[in-house]
């Protein structure tokens, strides 16, 4: 059985980005200064509709700019409708490996996640979180290097947040933690590139994407083991970090917390190229 990493704090509330930066010793730079190499461093879920959740339903299928690489090693665009309550899990068994229901007393992905209108819809109800790993069951848990992209936006969910990350398969944090995008939904999505020095794993270099969670954006991590990690939003380079670069197997993980207002994380597509 796989062990799981919990990015929320001990009170099971999402930690706002400004607190993370202070508590984790994050070195945060803006995209304007990060364009150079950095060496310092259908029915929505659970039978609820968008109106019932207090947020508007999207009026159209999201745009695809930049376009996804449909020939990637792994690609999923969620075109097959699937209800919450377990149908999504079975329909997308080759693309999504959720944490066991009730993990950490708060992750209930089956209850929250559906697919409709060409998106993966992760509903937020203020009481339950969702978490899992992207990819097929035989390979989702162990990747060394590669390019990882997700196109997403958030509707509602004030007081909650998300972390999309590459987390060590071994669960040994000093093997490297690569988080992008991460943050609470009232702020910008941020890069958190963590230290690999034992005892200092909570420290991280940060890059502000200077976009909001509310619009459709494509977030990309390009990981070259032992050499560099580059971060992009909508194809635009935010920065390249050449320190604390992992060399061991990681998994591409998604988490949202179990707090805040109702809302939806809408995912247009996810891809990985080895």
Identify whether the C-beta of residue 48 lies closer than 8 Å to the C-beta of residue 83.
Answer: no
Position 70 scores a pLDDT of 84
Q: Residue 264: what pLDDT?
A: 98
* d(C-alpha 174, C-alpha 194), whole Å: 9
71: pLDDT confidence band, cut at 50, 70 and 90?
confident
Cβ atoms 269, 70 nearer than 8 A: no
Mean pLDDT across the stretch 213-217? Answer: 98
pLDDT band at 69 (very low <50, low <70, confident <90, very high): confident
pLDDT band at residue 67, thresholds of 50, 70 and 90?
confident
Does the structure show a pLDDT above 50 at 260? Answer: yes
The rounded percent of the chain whose pLDDT value lies above 70 is 76
Nearest to 165 by CA among 151, 153, 150, 154: 150
Give per-residue pLDDT as tens, 166-179: 999 999 999 999 99
pTM of the entire structure?
Answer: 0.81
Residue 31, pLDDT above cutoff 70 = no
Span 174-197, pLDDT tens digits: 999 999 999 999 999 999 999 999
Q: Can you tell me the mean pLDDT for 213-219?
A: 98
Nearest-angstrom CA–CA distance, 111 and 123: 9
User: Hey, how many other C-beta atoms are within 10 angstroms of the C-beta on 245?
Assistant: 18
d(CA 35, CA 272): 23
For position 93, what pLDDT does the model report? Answer: 98
Q: Residue 134: is its pLDDT beyond 60?
A: yes
Cα-based angle 26, 258, 152 (whole degrees, multiple of 5): 70
Domains, the chain, in order of start with CATH, read 17-56+72-271 (2.60.120.200)
Q: Identify which of 6-10, 43-47, 150-154 has the greatest average pLDDT.
A: 150-154
> What is the average pLDDT value for the chain, to the nearest integer?
83
Mean pLDDT of the region 133-160: 97
Place of tokens 């792994």: 74
Where residue 122 falls among pLDDT bands split at 50, 70, 90?
A: very high
| pLDDT, position 81 | 98
Tokens for 217, please give them: 């954006």
Answer whether 139's CB lies under 8 Å from 169's CB. no
> Considering only 30-34, 99-103, 222-226, which range has the smallest mean pLDDT?
30-34
pLDDT of 18 higher than 90: no
Is it the case that residue 203 has pLDDT exceeding 70? yes
pLDDT number for residue 56: 40
Q: What is the reported pLDDT for 41? A: 31
């Amino acid at each position: 059985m796989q062990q799981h990493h919990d990015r929320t704090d001990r009170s099971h509330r999402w930690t706002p980005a400004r607190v993370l930066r202070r508590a984790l010793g994050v070195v945060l730079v803006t995209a304007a200064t990060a364009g150079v190499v950095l060496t310092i461093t259908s029915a929505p879920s659970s039978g609820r509709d968008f109106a019932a959740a207090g947020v508007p339903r999207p009026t159209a299928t999201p745009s695809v700019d930049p376009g996804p690489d449909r020939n990637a090693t792994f690609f999923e665009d969620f075109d097959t409708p699937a209800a919450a309550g377990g149908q999504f899990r079975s329909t997308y068994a080759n693309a999504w490996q959720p944490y066991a229901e009730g993990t950490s007393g708060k992750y209930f992905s089956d209850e929250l996640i559906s697919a409709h209108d060409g998106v993966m819809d992760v509903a937020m109800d203020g009481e339950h979180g969702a978490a899992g790993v992207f990819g097929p069951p035989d390979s989702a848990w162990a990747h060394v290097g590669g390019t990882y992209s997700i196109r997403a936006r958030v509707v509602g969910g004030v007081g909650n947040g998300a972390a999309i990350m590459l987390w060590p398969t071994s669960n040994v944090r000093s093997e490297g933690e690569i988080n992008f995008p991460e943050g609470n939904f009232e702020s910008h999505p941020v890069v958190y590139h963590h230290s690999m020095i034992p005892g200092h794993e909570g420290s991280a270099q940060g890059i502000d994407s200077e976009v909001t969670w509310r619009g459709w954006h494509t977030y990309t991590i390009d990981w070259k083991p032992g050499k560099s990690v580059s971060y992009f939003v909508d194809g635009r380079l935010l920065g390249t970090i050449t320190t604390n670069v992992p060399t061991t197997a990681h998994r591409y993980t998604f988490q949202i917390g179990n707090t805040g207002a109702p809302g939806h994380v809408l995912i247009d597509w996810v891809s990985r190229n080895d």
